[in-house]
Amino acid sequence: AQAVHPGYGFLSERAAFAEAVKTAGAIFVGPHADSIRSMGDKLEAKRLMKLMGVPLLPGTEGGVKDFSDAKAAADRIGYPVLLKASAGGGGKGMRIVRKAGELQAALEGAAREAKSYFGDGTVYIEKYLENPHHIEVQVVGDGQGGGGHVFDRECSIQRRHQKLVEESPAPLLSRHSKSKTKILDVATQVVERMKYANAGTLEFLGDDEGGFYFLEMNTRLQVEHPVTEWVTGLDLVERQIRVADGERLKTGALVDAQRGHSIEVRVYAETPFDYLPTGGRVHALQLPVGPFVRVDSSIYGGYDVPTEYDPTLMKLSVWGATREESVERLRGALDELRILGVQNNQGLFWAITREKNFKDGNYGTPYLEKNRDELKRLYNAELARLMPAAVLGAVESLRMPALLATSGGTALSAWEQASRRGQLRGELS
């Protein structure tokens, strides 16, 4: 092979893998190993960002040595605080501590989890914001100081510190235009000063007043990159390959503006409100179709979903000229989606797209906890509404192969299936 693209899995942020690819004489389609290493260590990343003048939350400059050290730091910072694994990400090795009596157990649990997942039990402490927004800036650099931002995303709807819904532009920054300009400028400066190569994402915590603080940098293409592609027209994987092949970039924004609005949801094989893994066999699958709808998935009818690995069944993303249109299109796509045989969290997204705070773009990372009862009510109401169509759709999906075998017919095209589903919904509504 001439080049290796690591995707966004385990190897994508392993400096040793990037070095091994280079040693083998191939091109690594990703950042330089030293960037992966420095940004992978969260404490080192914070140190570098502090030198560049990037805003940081109050916190420890290194890992805490023991409980006594942790208690002194937490008392100085002020509760609530967040314990975080220095070597980690994806919500592992993280604990929220709201009062001193919870600190020791939380510290032991975070260190144990960090050691188990990352081989390093180092934990540091920073101030916890009560209603934070998770804001990201996509960046691409050419490794020579050229490059910059590809605008912003908001990923505040999370469970267990892992993202479920992503959208671009970020609703928070749409309300704070000056903060948006600043955060995009900061991201471009980081790319320029680091001489960053290839795609990456700077993550920030934002508050309701428009303040923002550096969280971490992911030195890879993010799972949620489709929403950025929708609103910019860029193919980020193509751009990764071009940069890896030596393409130079001008400094600054890679595109002039965002166009419209995009939202993505991650459909997981898990219960919608308790987030428990399910697994099983996909007996029948019906995907949404039509303009401005995208499905990234590899599952199919007959696919066995394991419980031992990542629960992602698919990423479903849509685009609309406005955020309201995007929400409406996502709602329609979710109505068309059918996954039979594996319990999943599709119903949670039915509820979210109908809940007022989400529709208004007014939410932070505690969204699921704060709105749990209302989301359950909306879920049950939507389930009752869709049940007749779901039953008929399931019968049609299961009967179709047998009907085709006996009649010698051919399967309907995606457009014909979409038309039939639309007619069915009209008859049942």
Output the pLDDT for position 43: 87
- Model confidence at 411, pLDDT cuts 50, 70, 90, reads very low
What is the Cα–Cα distance from 43 to 85, expressed in whole angstroms?
Answer: 9
What CA–CA distance (Å, rounded) separates 43 from 60? 9
Q: Assess whether pLDDT exceeds 60 at residue 404.
A: no
**Span 255-268, average pLDDT:** 98
Whether the pLDDT of residue 292 is over 90: the answer is yes
Mean pLDDT along residues 27-45: 94
Is the per-residue pLDDT at 371 higher than 50?
yes
What is the per-residue pLDDT across 304-333, written as a single tens digit (0 to 9) for each? 999 888 899 999 999 999 999 999 999 999
pLDDT at 112: 95
Q: What number is the average pLDDT over the span 191-207? A: 97
pLDDT in tens, 49-93: 999 999 999 999 889 999 999 999 999 999 999 999 988 777 789
Residue 427 has pLDDT above 70, yes or no: no
| pLDDT, position 383 | 82
- Summarize the confidence of residues 102-130 as an average pLDDT: 94
* 220 is annotated as an active-site residue: yes
What pLDDT does residue 208 have? 93
Q: Which residue has the higher pLDDT, 10 or 129?
A: 129
Query: Residue 401's CB: how many other CB atoms inside 10 A?
Result: 12
Three-state SS string over the chain comes to: CCEECCCCCHHHHCHHHHHHHHHCCCEECCCCHHHHHHHHCHHHHHHHHHHCCCCECCECCCCCCCHHHHHHHHHHHCCCEEEEECCCCCCCCCEEECCHHHHHHHHHHHHHHHHHHHCCCCEEEEECCCCCEEEEEEEEEECCCCEEEEEEEEEEEEECCEEEEEEECCHHHHHCHHHHHHHHHHHHHHHHHHCCEEEEEEEEEECCCCCEEEEEEECCCCCCHHHHHHHHCCCHHHHHHHHHCCCCCCECCCCCCCCCEEEEEEEECECCCCCCECCEECCEEECCCCCCEEEECCCCCCCEECCCCCCEEEEEEEEECCHHHHHHHHHHHHHHCEEECCCCCHHHHHHHCCCHHHHCCCCCCCHHHHCHHHHHHHHHHHHHHHHHHHHHHHHHHHHHHHHHHHHCCCCCCHHHHHHHHHHHHHHHC
Assign 228 a pLDDT band (cuts: 50, 70, 90): very high
386, pLDDT greater than 90: no
The rounded distance, in Å, linking the Cα atoms of 388 and 403 is: 22
Per-chain mean pLDDT for the chain: 91
Query: pLDDT at residue 261 above 80?
Result: yes
User: The pTM is what?
Assistant: 0.84
Query: Picking from 259-273, 321-335, 397-411, which range would have the lowest pLDDT averaged per residue?
Result: 397-411
Q: Would the pLDDT of 274 be above 50?
A: yes
Question: Among 1-5, 39-43, 213-217, which is the least confidently predicted range?
Answer: 39-43
Catalytic residue among 220, 266, 338, 354: 220
Q: Which of 107, 111, 112 is nearest to 96 (CA)?
A: 107
Radius of gyration of the chain (CA): 23
* pLDDT given for residue 56 in this prediction: 94
The CATH architecture assigned to 59-128 reads 2-Layer Sandwich (3.30)
